[in-house]
Amino acid sequence: MTSRVAACRSGERGARLGERGAGTVLVLGVVAVALLLGLGLAVLGAAQAARGAAQAAADLGALAGATALRDGFDACVTAQEVVRRSGSRLVSCEPGGGGTVRVVAARAAGLQTPGPWAGVLGEARAAARAGPRQVP
């Protein structure tokens, strides 16, 4: 009987030795998933921030363009300057009838500094229209 108990104990010890390090692999897997999740959230945050900045630049550009048009100046030159000062790029500017101006602005998503990662997420675009309300 004692030899059977000794065999079981040595078999258990052999099984445990085969599982050594399994917890380390599990922890590394969980850490890798957490890092990927954090990276994904950071990318989404950067894209949302770029979209908000592009929308703010388009809004300001459209308002400045409509005001310039009302005062007799070139709406698109004014809108381009305002969008540029906002850190974005003017994609299009269309003065419409009745003193309205439609502006589309774009801003690079991701890092704003020059380098290999600048604009890696693409561009965020936003449009805005300003001017008197058009009555149908």
Residue 135 lies in a domain: no
Residue 136 lies in a domain: no
Q: Domain of 53?
A: 2-130
Q: Does the pTM exceed 0.95?
A: no
CA distance 73 to 65: 9
pLDDT along the chain (136 residues), means of 10: 54 61 88 94 89 96 96 96 96 93 92 63 93 81
Total number of domains constituting the chain:
1
Residue 74 pLDDT = 96
CA distance 60 to 103: 9
Residue 62 lies in a domain: yes
Q: At what angle do helices 75-85 and 22-70 cross, to 10 degrees?
A: 150
